[in-house]
Structure 1
Amino acid sequence: MSDQASPRGRAWLFNALATVVLWGVWGAFSGLSPQHGFPETLVYCVWALTMIPPALIVLAQARWKLDLNPRAIAYGLAVGGLGAGGQMVLFYAVTRGPAYLIFPVISLSPVVTIILSFLFMGERTGRLGAIGILLALLALPTFDFAPGGDAQGGGWIWMAFTVMACWGLQAYFMKSANRIMSAESIFFYMMVTGVALIPVALLLTDFSHPINYGLDGPLLAAGIQLLNAIGALTLVFAFRYGKAIIVAPLTNAGAPLATAIISLVALGVMPGPVKLVGIGLALAASLMLAFEPDSAAGEGVVEPTVL
């Protein structure tokens, strides 16, 4: 997760692939806790708490140098608030609308990141990278596509677009923040905002229903959500060393690809024909983005001033 871990030119790829693997495994098993009677709102609480250990570990490795200037704090809280806030909206959205339509909309969040990075950070890529981005964007909606069902009204669509905007903006600000502060500080502030929203998740929890507090409840959730937390950490480092226009579609297409493969191998879940097409597109996109010669972006990384 640093220059010492791999040459600067490919440090972004190492961290991006780590995110893909971690989030792929997390995605394959993330449904187990709710299936065992531990509600998703409490899963959020557990997830927020699992952010604490990796945040403290990397901050300790950085000799407890936390960026405390107002600009760094604003960026850090913006990144964390957009991510955690989007998750809160998602919890509400899935109670009002069909997940099979909500998640394909949300999966297009890299479009927001790519447009902003292209317009305001001047990021560009070569022909291979451009084709990879296109294939990734085409693949993303297929992983959560499921035909049929009741749309349950149209109010949910605005919440889905809100989550998409939040997570697309989060990725853009994550890259921008890496230019003026340390990755360790960014993740620390992400952890702080995630924990700060725990009371909101508790308020959204229906405690009138039975809740599983056993080993396959919160403890199982903690083990699974820790993968998510560490994946978020490696994503911060991927954005530090790589172009947002490359990292966003690679991780957002690669993680569902990994989830599909793991589900097929470990859980015996056979994807439908639409998802199989998506797997092929995501695999091709991942290879193109990984080997795009213009994808390394160590330039522009400014070492932050630590107060």
Structure 2
Amino acid sequence: MSGAISSRAWLVNALITVVLWGIWGAFSGLSPQNGFPETLVYCVWALTMIPPALVVLAQVGWRFDRSPKAIGYGLAIGLLGAGGQMLLFYAVARGPAYLIFPVISLSPVVTIALSALLMGERTGRLGAIGIVLALLALPTFDFAPGSAGGSSLTWLIPALIVMLCWGLQAYFMKAANHVTSAESIFVYMMLSGLVLVPVAWAMTDFAKPINWGLSGPGLAVLIQMLNAIGALTLVFAFRYGKAIIVAPLANAGAPLATALLSLVILGVVPGPLKTLGIVLALVASLLLAIEPDAEDKQATETA
């Protein structure tokens, strides 16, 4: 019975993360559009990570792992995540979310490649097909620049870097779950985000008009809280489930939910080539997300 409860718990928490992050991504560009710079949006996001961190710390008696391995993994995970967030806010202020997030959803390709090279893991047929489709999808986002959201290079390069950062982050998250707790990982993620706040603040051009009203920082708090709560449920998904399953589901599912929501909200119909890219990215991400689960079931049956 407890095994069944744990199985349901990781799936419920992972799906909550996908939904919350999907909605967050779809609306993350609103604050910069309302005159609140993306650098300050980052500062707001980092601050919204504090309440969930306090929640998880309280649940473990205000103790977290301070071993060198935990610190190293925690900072790597946190800085890759925070750096990716900073670049993501830059990208969504300059390009369409329905194209940016399908690119980011391909981050499991990076995770799988690193796992194969450094951990000796091998992907199955579904994963291999997913990687091929991902490689076919990426070039389509750079065709016909200016047809959607201006020159694609202004958002495509940052989106590719975010994809790389979050793919690396998921790899370290997989490794870290063998040496430390999910709660400790989350606390270091929060601390790493706060470390970069002075950098984001210094990058802000205060000479330009800034919207300090409710539609600026007020709206940013509401939107970024979705991300923070989703990160908290992700911690519980990692507690009850396996990182090799949870990480691809969150990294692929949430950006795709954002892309679909953005298309519905905006009522935009991309050109044929970009539509093909979105479809290829969708299929690739789904295959990359379910591949670890298929491998896990096969290993269990073999045992």
1:180/1:44 CA distance change after superposition, 3 Å: same
1:148 paired to 2:149: no
Matched with 1:304 is none
Matched with 1:32 is 30
Question: Counterpart of 1:269 in 2: which secondary structure?
Answer: coil
Matched with 2:213 is 214
1:132/1:243 CA distance change after superposition, 3 Å: farther
Matched with 1:78 is 76
Judge conservation of contact 2:22–2:254 (CA < 8 Å) in 1.
yes
1:127 paired to 2:129: no
1:236/1:295 CA distance change after superposition, 3 Å: farther
Give the deviation of 1:219 after TM superposition. 1.1
1:181 paired to 2:174: no
TM-score by length of 1: 0.76
1:45 paired to 2:46: no
Give the deviation of 1:118 after TM superposition. 1.9
Judge conservation of contact 1:44–1:201 (CA < 8 Å) in 2.
yes
Matched with 2:295 is 294
Measure the CA separation in 2 of the matches of 1:148 and 1:233: 37
Q: Residues 111-157 of structure 1, C-alpha deviation per residue, up to 9 Å, x if partnerless?
A: 32111112333434543454345545655676x65622497999x96
Give the deviation of 1:81 after TM superposition. 1.5
1:267/1:164 CA distance change after superposition, 3 Å: closer
Give the deviation of 1:82 after TM superposition. 1.9
Measure the CA separation in 1 of the matches of 2:16 and 2:222: 17
1:39-118 alignment, distance < 5 Å: 39-88=37-86, 108-118=106-116
Structure 2 alignment gaps of length 5 or more: none
TM-score by length of 2: 0.77
Measure the CA separation in 2 of the matches of 1:282 and 1:89: 20
Give the deviation of 1:184 after TM superposition. 0.9
Measure the CA separation in 1 of the matches of 2:212 and 2:273: 37
Matched with 1:260 is 259
Give the deviation of 1:242 after TM superposition. 3.0
Give the deviation of 1:217 after TM superposition. 0.7
Give the deviation of 1:284 after TM superposition. 3.9
Judge conservation of contact 1:38–1:211 (CA < 8 Å) in 2.
yes
1:203-282 alignment, distance < 5 Å: 203-238=202-237, 241-244=241-244, 247-282=246-281
Give the deviation of 1:234 after TM superposition. 3.7
Q: Which moved more, 1:83-92 or 1:68-77?
A: 83-92
Q: Residues 229-270 of structure 1, C-alpha deviation per residue, up to 9 Å, x if partnerless?
A: 2233344455563354x5555434322321232223344333
What one-letter code is carried by the residue in structure 2 that aligns with 1:19?
T
Question: Counterpart of 1:148 in 2: which secondary structure?
Answer: coil
What one-letter code is carried by the residue in structure 2 that aligns with 1:226?
M
Question: Counterpart of 2:35 in 1: which secondary structure?
Answer: coil
Give the deviation of 1:60 after TM superposition. 1.5
Structure 1 alignment gaps of length 5 or more: 300-307
Q: Which moved more, 1:114-123 or 1:290-299?
A: 290-299
Higher normalized helix content (fraction of residues):
2
